[in-house]
Structure 1
Amino acid sequence: MSVQEANGALELACGAQGRSVGIRLCASSELAANPKAAPKEKEGCLAFVAAEGRLDKEDVDGCMTHSKEALEKFKACKHPTGVADTLRMMVLAYRIQADVLRSAEEDKTKDIKAALSTAESLAKEEAAKFKEAGDKRGEAVMLLAAGEINYNKRGGKKRGEAIEDLNKSKELAKQAGDKKVEATAVFVQANAAIKLRMNDDSYMFAQESYRLYEEAADKKGMGKALHIMALAQVLAEDFDDGVKTAEQALAIFREMSLRKLEAFELFIIAHYYLTRKMGREAIPYAEDALELFKEVDFDGSGWTSNAFDCLTQAFIAKAGGWLMDGLSTDVYEAPVGFLQGLYVSVTRALAWHRAIGVDDELFLDSALMDSGMAPRCKTEAA
């Protein structure tokens, strides 16, 4: 996995910890508990929070069900902020649906295009409605959603549209006085610049988003901005400063008990070191990432196996291929379902061991005993 791919993982994780990605002003459990809030507003907030929870599990259908309920409640009490934020979450749900389809074994190109096209149409249509109503914040939120759909994996023309939409979103949010929406638009611009390998521009956008998130007292947003700043630094060969910046992001996620984001940041710091073949330095980060993913990756998304693979590579980089006993024990003691997800990682480790002359049978017997995977790994590594 490349550093770019690892960043994509954390980018989605930032969303998964609340797919409204740093906005979520109106719909929160705190507002739902406010005795002064109208009943419909409370119900809308609770439905919104439930929708976020389903999206965190990549349950697009569940997210849509709760989102439609939230949308109905917010419209009933004439809450434009809630309406806009809920619509944006629905757009992002289609994006997540496309990401899930990309990981399918069979070709899902047609379904992916349909999901993204539906998302874009929803965002653009709702942006036009907010513009007609003179609601600058609502228009900004929907243009932001359109930019999030189009800036990645949709070709150069769509990327150009995304950049234009993000610029408009940022300006409208500024006019509306909404720092969080403005900061998030700039944050997505930083991500878009990374995709275009415009590392200096990405760093500049990330710095700006950090300042805006700080003004909005959004610490999680500050951590996200630091993450992109670090990535831009590493890709620009400013390695030491990049790692230091990533450590700052890690400290924020840890302080806020954002366990999944903490795990992803540990994971990517380990990858930073692996790009320099610095296995010794990568190992503690990879170990901590693996332990955290075991704790938070309860929906079986595959990141625990990615973390195991990262740790395997770190030991290989450190010791020239000798697999430490702890790794074998880790595989042996894992549940069978978890082992199925590790099959690719273990196969890779086996291939490395074969290359340096370590006995295959000894490795397989100790690591995969009773898992039913040994024959498959032998076949794949052959």
Structure 2
Amino acid sequence: MSKKNLVKSRADEYIAKIEGHGSLAIDWKKGKVNLHVHEGERLFEGILVGRTADEMHWITPRICGVCPIAHNLASLRATEDALGIKITPTSELLRRLMQVGQNVQSHVLHAVFLALPDYIGIDRITELDFKDPAKFELALFLKELGDEIAYVVAGRNVHPTRTSVGGFHKVPTKEELKGLLEKVKIAIPKARALADFFATLEYPELQVDLELLAQKDGKVLSNKRESFNIKDYKKNIEEEVKKYSTAKFGSYKGSVYMVGSLARLYHKSFYDKDFSSFKLDFKNPYHNNLAQTIETFFELEEAASIIEKLLKKDIDDRIISPSKDASLKGIGAVEAPRGGLYNEVHFDKDGIIKYANIITPTVQNLTSMENTAEALLAQHSEKSHQELEHLMEMLIRAYDPCITCSVH
């Protein structure tokens, strides 16, 4: 691209209010957009090689301080799959509760604190405390509750300390769970109010025939093609290196797709609930922010349900041991806040990692971000460059990219 036709290509013009450092390179004449990732490769897969089976789930959360629980759980699933471990129903419930806490933390942080200012005429979220103190307090309450769910179950609200291969080192007490349940019940109507508010926002017009992928019941679902087994993720999800980026770009057998809240709600990955009143547009990626707040509401309803189940029976804190005839090769996947996360690990006979692979949600979304940005240019060609730049940054924020995860 000729430099005179570029904007947002210099290191001092990072896209604001996203996790990490990225910038946009726009060729106005050709209508082409490149998303430059400026962070260095971190080589976590190489770091894992030579480590033991007990270490992977401690190391991978350090990929990201925003979604460490997702990395922890994906690594545990991969390790347990390799070692032939099936955890107890109690451990399954507690891990799902951890995931709920993670999603609430992340969704509120992004949708309210990073994306919302674009829609209500403020520059930064602290200004909301003056403009609408009630909404500011509501957002803080929900974010803090997400932190507390993570803290009570995982031991910390950032990097989990209680999970173990086969279960948990330590489980929460029933008194802790009862206290959490009281707060969750208070939060549910607040989360609904937040989603209702986001449904009233005026989202930029954009129509893209998005392919939406989400995990459900051991499969990856698409709105355009047949589903495939999570175990076959590597046959379907391809990664490409581009010279202008330190992150890989994902595709589904060569095609562009989107992952995250919008895709999960389309496929009802977690929740078979009616959300038609929110008028979610599955062809408009800006609506991913609305989808995040709808998910927050549903997540807290599920948190209450999980805690009630845990309180009705004895908490089984057993740690399950590896099987003697384990394959030593495992795949683990979870729906992280930003979309499907995949981990694969191979061990030698002594339990030492000899191969590791990680595909993060943002890697899968990078190509979609570029394609939808180009669609934006085409569909809003009457607007000025300055207006388009702003709309494009809003679009990138709508995807909630985690640049640090993308260069893992």
Q: Please identify which structure carries the higher strand content.
A: 2
Which has the larger share of helix? 1
Same fold by TM-score greater than 0.5: no
Q: Which structure would you say has the larger Rg?
A: 1
Q: How does the TM-score come out when normalised to structure 2?
A: 0.25
Structure number with higher relative contact order (C-alpha < 8 Å, ≥ 6 residues apart): 2
Question: What TM-score, normalized by structure 1, do the two folds share?
Answer: 0.26
